[in-house]
Structure 1
Amino acid sequence: MISGKMFWGCFLGMLAVYVCGLPATLMENDSAQFAVMAMRMVQENDFVNLIKGTEQYLDKPHMHYWLAALAYKLFGIHDWAYRLPALLLTLAASRACHGIGKELYNENAGRLAALIFMSAQTIVLSVIDVRTDAVLTGFTALSIWQLLRYLELGSTRGLLWGALTAGLAFSTKGQIALVVIALPLLCHVAYTRRWYRLADLRLVWGLLVFALAISPMLYAYYQQFDLHPEKVIRGRGNRSGILFIFWEQSFERLSGEGVGKNSSDYFFFFHTFLWVFLPWTLMGLAAFGNRAYRMARRFAGNKTAPAPPDAEAPGGAAGENTSGNPGVPEVLTLGGIAIIFLIISFAQFKLPHYLNILIPLFTVLTAGYLDARRKKGHWKWLRRAARLQAGIFGIVLLAVSGIVFWVFPLPGAAAVALVLVLVGSGIALWRQMADPLVRLAVISVLASVGINAVMNAHFYPSLLQYQAGSELARNFVREVPANPPIFKFSEEHTWALDFYSRQPVRIVRGGNRTDLAGRWVYVDEDKRRSLAESGWEWEREIVADQFRITRLQARFVNPETREEVVGKRYLLLLAPAAP
């Protein structure tokens, strides 16, 4: 049983990891890009039009950018302010996982679900490399929780809060939010046969709240696109923002039209799941496999066949919950995961963080499964599972050692002390916990705390020294306090340079002595060589190392070969004597 003291100790440990990562430099492309888009809202006092560089931005709705802009208004334009809404909504999603787990199972499962969610690798990463998914996941998890309370208890408050957060989720990323919310709940309604909840007149109030929640986003889309049919977006004119968000968006994502195709691998999300749910991957796979088998037996109507080892009868150990829900509570999570997984697997444009919206369902499914094992007294299985998780902790120790001793070495004494603290903590907690489920949970959370504390406090700060845009901007602001405009010769995005210099870099085409003399320009090695060969001279030069840090490769990770793949980027103050 996970006590309150143990829960809060693990939770606060994970929270410290998240807070540690707040001031890290923003990564290119998406994090820095979205931060710049929100920054422009504040600087230009325009909260209606979304602009990406020099282009009108149609792909995603406004909510994520509005929240970041609000944080800038309150705290100033800082990287940690940009991340703050993502952190707060991640905490809200953790609370929602606790609520769903408690509603479907019991308090113990709820606490375990919250810890699994907070320590899942992709969730930790989503608050460092912040895109729209952290905000989306927070709102969708809250909506599922509150609407489940309406379905189970008839709670009007649950209906209204669920409708509000569904509207905010829709205003964050569009139709996928409603799919993620609706499908698990419909699976639950279909199995429990609570169709009467969908005929309740109170739903009118819920629809009204949903409409009010999405109205600011619809107004902004209407103002930016519907009133301006002359705007050409991805080669098409006469684009309706409202039609796009209600109809065209998801079809474009599924087909790859407009956004492009990057993967036709239908198993992309299957092998991606292996790392995004670490350190809980093995437990998640066991939970899904066992519950899918159990569900298939039920739907096949094979009631006389022997049940799987840990199957529970309706209303039995796994079915215990605060609402008296009959049947199998995993229908909500299992059905939602299976259907949504299938849908997104057929999309032609895929990225690993698309799985984030499923993590709340996976966490509740896994927590309920592990809690059921404990209730049935499967101590031998739980002890084996705890040893497996201890093995993952051992792998984490190896990864931490590799980082602090080899990839980006810490001073010897500090590196040794860090590893010894992790080893000692693991041994002490393992010996202290007699309950194998608590052992399993604590060693898993410690594994997440260990690796992500090192990543957030040491690895990312060291890695981001090779992101030239942010390094050049910091040096530029320090060395040139007047912060004059910066120009570039191509449409290559420079999001980190834009953000940390607090100004969008301007594009010039061609260039002569009249318009470029005395200007600062951003160039790569080839362009710098070209300028020199053309007779240009410059008075000052700021240089920084450059590597595409989101695409690590072995030669970069190896300190001995790193310089072979690291390039240079420059800020040049062109001299008036240029030809």
Structure 2
Amino acid sequence: MKINLTTTTSFYILYFLIAIVYTAGLFIPVMESDSAQHATMAMRMVLNNDFIHLYKGVDPYLDKPHMHFWLAAISMKIFGINHVAYRIPALLFTLLGAYSCYRLFNDLYKNKSFSHAAAAIFLTSQTIILANHDVRTDAVLTGAVIFSIWQLNSYLQRQSYKSIILGALGSAIAFSTKGHLGIFVIGLSILCQIIYTKNYKPLISLKTLVGLGFFVLGITPVLYAFYIQFDLHPEIMINETNNHSGLKFILWDHSFNRMAAKDFQKSNDNFFFFHSLLWVFFPWSIAYYIGTFETIQKIVKRKKLIEILSIGGSFITLVLISFSKSKLPHYLNSLIPLMSIFVAGYFLSLKQLNKTKTINFFLGLSYFIAVISCLAIIGLYLIRFNTTISVTTITGTLILVGLSIILISQTTTKSSKLIITSCVATILLNFNLNTYFYPNLLKYQSGESIANYIHNNTNLNHLPIHQFNNEYKWSLDFYLQKNIDVIQLENSKFPITPFLSVTNNYEELKPKLNMLGFKSEIIQTFKDYKVSRLSLKFLNSNKRDSQLEKSFLIKVYK
């Protein structure tokens, strides 16, 4: 019997396949540097039982707000200090984002089948899968943004207190996670929909003021924490200056500093986000570009659209942030739910208008993506590590392939088939990334290896460990479950010896220690590589050694 993609059964199968990928991602070690850094910052809150002050290593942290760190710390309080616990809040907010995509699409288009498609497109977008194992602030931000947009759009339709309050609290979480970016995306999306539908009445309602009050209430904990840490302590030095106001920073400076790339790496490529979207929103980026072009044509010709919320919120933001001097691919993450809703709506319109040629084009594109993904998987297997492909990877891949073939073959409509084919292509690729490539790649970042070596040697694990001159290895702190102190050689203030330290510059460090009257010896040497900056030479096992650094676990004593 044929099973159409629009049936509940087929979507349950698809969600099951997606769940396998996300579950596999939970068990990957934390990646240097941002993910491991954020995990360590949350861990410090747990170890110090201090949820007010944010520190990056030993330095006060005046950058991203607290919400992501609070949620990760609470999770580690409950489940222990480990990388699975660190990732749980990100996964929960991603699930909230998927559910919000489903509900918002159904509110806009009144079509449950393609509401599932919107959620599946969101969950299979490359950057969303990546954000759930290389966890930073973006997963929480993304889930909060689309949840808020769903609730505020519901408020526009129904004017209920529940919707405006939940929408306001969602906006507060977005602000408390990454500042103004989330608020901008939320506000722009809702504003576009209000202007297009000419539904201005909710703006002048008392309920809107109630929502504003809940938003202010929702951001108060973050404002209070910044005030306590910085406004009450003007003596704190940040980038060799003092008198920093935490309130002024989060309410004003944070976003504008990023736009001007103050203290951030600058990029003058105004098309950076447009070409980054090709992989960030893979495998749906081409559909987004084509659908956007056709929708703009409809707007120019004044043809009626079902909604403008998704294209307005995503494309206008995409254009505006392209003028920012600070650009990184994950800045796009909060736009992915809107893009997913837009693409699902575009595919629905193709089906309803019976645009066979366009549907056939995207079906062919989905098959091409599937082939590319299979070739990429073979390419992963050709990247030789000092291990064999695990039984888990092989067995899991075979099961996924079998279920995917059944699902695709039993899908009757072309519009459904093109969606499910692209979904399973991404699922297969990321399952192999999460179970084979990343676990083997991360063996080359030395922090976890050193921590395990210390834990497994009883003659070492009782010794204190300190770092020299900010040679941070965040994963070392995290897997040792310690806040490692930093020693500045210039100050010559040394703790009681003996103690352990880790350095990639032992040849330079040793004579400096000797001059200060301290001896040192190498306990063990580890291979080290900045895994976030992959190169072709590293991927080539014959040339890999030339790309590796050495990390030295040393003992310092009198």
TM-score (norm 1): 0.90
Match of 2:91 in 1: 87
2:283 maps to 1:283? no
How far residue 293 of structure 1 moved from its aligned partner, in angstroms, is: 1.7
Q: Deviations over 1:197-226 (max 9, x none)?
A: 100111121112112111111111111111
Q: Is the 8 A contact 1:109 1:364 kept in 2?
A: no
Which deviates more from structure 2 when the two are superposed, residues 274-283 or residues 63-72? 274-283
Q: Which of 17, 24, 27 does residue 23 from structure 1 map onto?
A: 27
2:110 maps to 1:131? no
Matches within 5 A, 1:204-283: 204-257=209-262, 259-283=263-287
- C-alpha distance in 2 between matches for 1:3 and 1:475: 51
Match of 2:488 in 1: 509
Match of 1:476 in 2: 454
- C-alpha distance in 1 between matches for 2:45 and 2:397: 44
Distance of aligned partners of 1:465 and 1:531 in 2 relative to their CA distance in 1, 3 Å threshold? farther
- C-alpha distance in 2 between matches for 1:32 and 1:430: 38
- C-alpha distance in 2 between matches for 1:61 and 1:47: 12
Match of 2:346 in 1: 369
2:362 maps to 1:382? no
- C-alpha distance in 2 between matches for 1:491 and 1:575: 20
Q: Is the 8 A contact 2:521 2:556 kept in 1?
A: yes
- C-alpha distance in 1 between matches for 2:436 and 2:508: 32
- C-alpha distance in 2 between matches for 1:201 and 1:100: 24
Which deviates more from structure 2 when the two are superposed, residues 230-239 or residues 143-152? 230-239
Q: Is the 8 A contact 2:94 2:140 kept in 1?
A: yes
Matches within 5 A, 1:436-455: 436-455=414-433
Which deviates more from structure 2 when the two are superposed, residues 366-375 or residues 406-415? 406-415
Distance of aligned partners of 1:531 and 1:506 in 2 relative to their CA distance in 1, 3 Å threshold? farther
- C-alpha distance in 2 between matches for 1:428 and 1:254: 48
Match of 2:102 in 1: 98
The secondary structure found in structure 2 opposite 1:479 is: coil
- C-alpha distance in 2 between matches for 1:285 and 1:543: 49
Match of 2:13 in 1: 9
Q: Deviations over 1:220-268 (max 9, x none)?
A: 11111111122232343222211211111111110111x3233121111
How far residue 412 of structure 1 moved from its aligned partner, in angstroms, is: 9.9
- C-alpha distance in 1 between matches for 2:104 and 2:390: 46
The secondary structure found in structure 1 opposite 2:383 is: helix
Q: Is the 8 A contact 1:50 1:56 kept in 2?
A: yes
Distance of aligned partners of 1:407 and 1:391 in 2 relative to their CA distance in 1, 3 Å threshold? farther
Count of aligned pairs between the two proteins: 548
2:531 maps to 1:553? no
How far residue 9 of structure 1 moved from its aligned partner, in angstroms, is: 1.1
Match of 1:198 in 2: 203
- C-alpha distance in 1 between matches for 2:214 and 2:489: 53
How far residue 338 of structure 1 moved from its aligned partner, in angstroms, is: 2.4
Q: Is the 8 A contact 1:279 1:392 kept in 2?
A: yes
Distance of aligned partners of 1:157 and 1:472 in 2 relative to their CA distance in 1, 3 Å threshold? same
Match of 1:145 in 2: 150
Distance of aligned partners of 1:346 and 1:238 in 2 relative to their CA distance in 1, 3 Å threshold? same
Match of 1:359 in 2: 336
Q: Deviations over 1:112-149 (max 9, x none)?
A: 11000000000000011100010000101100000000
2:544 maps to 1:562? yes
Match of 2:445 in 1: 467
Which deviates more from structure 2 when the two are superposed, residues 150-159 or residues 476-485? 476-485
Which deviates more from structure 2 when the two are superposed, residues 407-416 or residues 242-251? 407-416
Distance of aligned partners of 1:331 and 1:515 in 2 relative to their CA distance in 1, 3 Å threshold? closer
How far residue 532 of structure 1 moved from its aligned partner, in angstroms, is: 10
- C-alpha distance in 2 between matches for 1:359 and 1:413: 34
1:342 maps to a residue whose letter is V
Matches within 5 A, 1:394-413: 394-408=371-385, 410-411=388-389
Gaps of 5+ in 2: none
Match of 2:37 in 1: 33
Q: Is the 8 A contact 1:120 1:277 kept in 2?
A: yes
Match of 2:465 in 1: 486
Q: Is the 8 A contact 2:68 2:140 kept in 1?
A: yes
The secondary structure found in structure 2 opposite 1:521 is: strand
Q: Deviations over 1:376-411 (max 9, x none)?
A: 222343233112111111111011111123344745
2:432 maps to a residue whose letter is V
- C-alpha distance in 2 between matches for 1:155 and 1:100: 16
Match of 1:527 in 2: 507
Match of 1:573 in 2: 555
The secondary structure found in structure 2 opposite 1:95 is: helix
1:41 maps to a residue whose letter is M
How far residue 530 of structure 1 moved from its aligned partner, in angstroms, is: 4.0
Matches within 5 A, 1:299-310: none
How far residue 509 of structure 1 moved from its aligned partner, in angstroms, is: 3.1
The secondary structure found in structure 2 opposite 1:112 is: helix
The secondary structure found in structure 2 opposite 1:136 is: helix
2:469 maps to a residue whose letter is S
